[in-house]
Chain A
Amino acid sequence: MSESEPHPSDQDLLLAADGELSRGRAKRVRKHLDACWSCRARMREIENTIADFVHVHQRSAEAQLPSVSSSRALLKAQLAELAAKPRAGMWPRFTQFMLAPRTVAYVCAVLLLAAAGSMALVRQFRGQNQSESASEIDNDALPNRTLTPGATRPVAISDVCSMPHEEVVRAVPTSVRQQVFREYGIQHPRAENYEIDYLIAPGLGGKEDIRNLWPEPYTSTIWNAHVKDALEEHLHQMVCAGKLDLPTAQSDIANNWIAAYKKYFHTREPLVANGHPPFSASMGNAPHDPLEFARLEDRFGGLDSAMITSDRARLVCRITSARRTRYGFALIKGPRPPTNRAQQG
């Protein structure tokens, strides 16, 4: 390209300015610019526009960028925690081959069938009539979405995770309680029957707002306030351990807390119903405590799970397809692992 050649396009000028042209082509554009005032003026305009944009972009963002030091400190803490955990996916290839997804699926299926079969036998033997299935959802257990859609307040993870316990389980003032009962048309409510509960718990950024409060029955349903408390605690722990982001936790619990319970505890029934374990004594000591479940989850997190119990020892077999290459099968017995509730502040 010379002064007699056609003028380079704006795109070519930009490519030249950005150093993205091939050496030969860049040389020709440069030569043309040396000779052509109008193209030099266009080039200047492009550069000016770039400068203006950069100015706008950086000034609008710079004002609101928080200091890097607290973010760095948080990252360092999380990295240290992550570094302390063994890495996933470092097994030799042959183990991956041996423990192929299909193999795991077959084993899972067999174990699940065996577990289901034994449970059915136990129920039949004991003549239990489980007419009130836990998977059936009692209408009272879920709030009216119109009256109680959920409301959040702006909080940082660090705020939520450093909240004192009394703040997390904050009681609702009497005047607000009465307002909620009125809204739900409940006359002469008995205190022992209902908990005026936060749909999104304060510990998950929920707000004390009529839109986030509803009368949750303690009794007469399987999915009751005790069960929801366990879910809130579990989600709070997951959020603080960086395993779940706060908006997801809020959204899941607000949309359908029972579905959230099933999702996060990997179960169809409450692990604690009315404060009592759901498994009969003959089923062994399955992890009926949701917090123990959370600890197991911590160690063997994943989506698929099968629990097998024995009357001799508590053997919990969790086969996780997500981490099968690391753990394969694991048998756990003995002291509970220490709670490692991460406090990020």
Chain B
Amino acid sequence: MSISRVDTIQRLPFPRTDAVARPASPSEDECEVIRLFDQHRNGLLRYTLSFGLSMHDAEEIIQEVFLALFQHLRMGRSRHNLRGWTFRVAHNLALKQRARNDGLRRTLYHDEAVMTRQRDDAPNPEEQAASGQRMERLRAVVAALPEQDRCCLYLRAEGLRYREIATTLGISIGSVSATLARSLARLGRADEGYAP
């Protein structure tokens, strides 16, 4: 008995129904994904980087987010609030990646360049002299915030509404509002004790 590859397909026990159930052509979904990528890529990248990930990891995550979005659309799932969806997925992937990196750092020697590259982007001394000191203080306040508070701030800064932030972080809208007010109060006090 000879079984050809053509036979193989015909012998699959169940008929393929992809063509029947497809809600939109793949090209439409691809275009939609690229459109959303152009719109939100920078915001998502900034947010992902806020988890202390390298640019390489962050870019990988963004690619993964939009590939997942493509699958999401292709499977005919909800198209409601796709911006919130992408931030939610990026948030989860960033947490996962960071945990993985933490595990990796414990066992692996890392090239120093990876570590120093992250610090190269600090403003130069001239910039710091002009308005940098206050900015540095604000950065320090942000860095000292609890992670959830920091995530709230970053997500709001990327234009997400309270409901979207709540969904992304899995907290209530009231918590989002209280957290943001608390964080802004802390930021507002960043200059306390310093001469203007």
Q: A20-B162, A61-B45, A151-B108 are in contact. Are A78 and B17 (CB under 8 A)?
A: no
Give the docked Cα–Cα distance between A328 and B12 (Å): 8
Flag whether A281 is at the interface (Cβ < 8 A): no
Flag whether A339 is at the interface (Cβ < 8 A): no
Of A57, A75, A154, the contact of B63 (CB 8 Å cutoff): A75
**Residue of A11, A79, A209, A254 ringed by the most chain B CB atoms within 10 A:** A79
Flag whether B34 is at the interface (Cβ < 8 A): yes
B-chain residues with CB within 8 Å of residue A335 when the two chains form the complex? 5
Give the docked Cα–Cα distance between A286 and B177 (Å): 61
**What are 22 A-B interface contacts by the 8 Å CB criterion?**
A10-B181, A14-B184, A49-B187, A50-B184, A53-B184, A56-B142, A57-B142, A64-B49, A68-B38, A72-B34, A79-B34, A79-B70, A82-B71, A86-B18, A87-B74, A90-B21, A90-B75, A149-B109, A151-B109, A154-B54, A328-B13, A333-B8
Flag whether B90 is at the interface (Cβ < 8 A): no
Residue on B nearest A78 in the bound complex, by CB: B67
Least CB distance from B19 to A in Å reads: 10
Give the docked Cα–Cα distance between A297 and B71 (Å): 20
Count of chain A residues with a beta carbon within 8 Å of a chain B beta carbon: 78
Of A9, A10, A52, the contact of B138 (CB 8 Å cutoff): A52
Flag whether B126 is at the interface (Cβ < 8 A): no
Least CB distance from B153 to A in Å reads: 7
Residue on A nearest B29 in the bound complex, by CB: A83
B-chain residues with CB within 8 Å of residue A103 when the two chains form the complex? none
Q: Supply 7 further A-B pairs (C-beta < 8 A) apart from A211-B109, A334-B3.
A: A20-B162, A53-B142, A90-B75, A154-B111, A209-B109, A255-B107, A335-B5
Q: Which residues of B in the span 176-194 have a Cβ within 8 Å of any Cβ on A? A: 177-178, 180-181, 184-185, 187-188
Q: Which residues of A in the span 123-140 have a Cβ within 8 Å of any Cβ on B? A: none
Residue on A nearest B3 in the bound complex, by CB: A333
Q: A78-B67, A82-B67, A150-B107 are in contact. Are A61 and B33 (CB under 8 A)?
A: no
Check A151 against B18 for contact (C-beta < 8 Å).
no
Q: A71-B63, A79-B33, A330-B8 are in contact. Are A15 and B121 (CB under 8 A)?
A: no
Check B41 against A71 for contact (C-beta < 8 Å).
yes
Least CB distance from B9 to A in Å reads: 9
Of A18, A62, A154, the contact of B117 (CB 8 Å cutoff): A154
Q: A211-B109, A250-B104 are in contact. Are A92 and B17 (CB under 8 A)?
A: yes
Residue on A nearest B121 in the bound complex, by CB: A64
B-chain residues with CB within 8 Å of residue A250 when the two chains form the complex? 104, 108
Check A66 against B5 for contact (C-beta < 8 Å).
no
A-chain residues with CB within 8 Å of residue B108 when the two chains form the complex? 149-152, 250-251, 254
Least CB distance from A48 to B in Å reads: 8
Check A242 against B67 for contact (C-beta < 8 Å).
yes
Residue pairs across A and B with CB atoms within 8 Å: the count is 199
Give the docked Cα–Cα distance between A10 and B182 (Å): 9
Check B57 against A247 for contact (C-beta < 8 Å).
yes
Check A53 against B107 for contact (C-beta < 8 Å).
no
A-chain residues with CB within 8 Å of residue B67 when the two chains form the complex? 75, 78-79, 82, 242
Check B162 against A18 for contact (C-beta < 8 Å).
yes
A-chain residues with CB within 8 Å of residue B46 when the two chains form the complex? 57-58, 61-62, 65
Give the docked Cα–Cα distance between A63 and B8 (Å): 54
B-chain residues with CB within 8 Å of residue A313 when the two chains form the complex? 1-3
Least CB distance from A242 to B in Å reads: 7
Residue on B nearest A79 in the bound complex, by CB: B30
A-chain residues with CB within 8 Å of residue B11 when the two chains form the complex? 331
Give the docked Cα–Cα distance between A15 and B176 (Å): 10
User: What 10 A-B pairs come out closest when comparing CB atoms?
Assistant: A11-B181, A61-B46, A83-B26, A334-B5, A151-B109, A49-B188, A333-B3, A64-B121, A251-B104, A154-B114
Flag whether A153 is at the interface (Cβ < 8 A): yes
Give the docked Cα–Cα distance between A333 and B8 (Å): 8
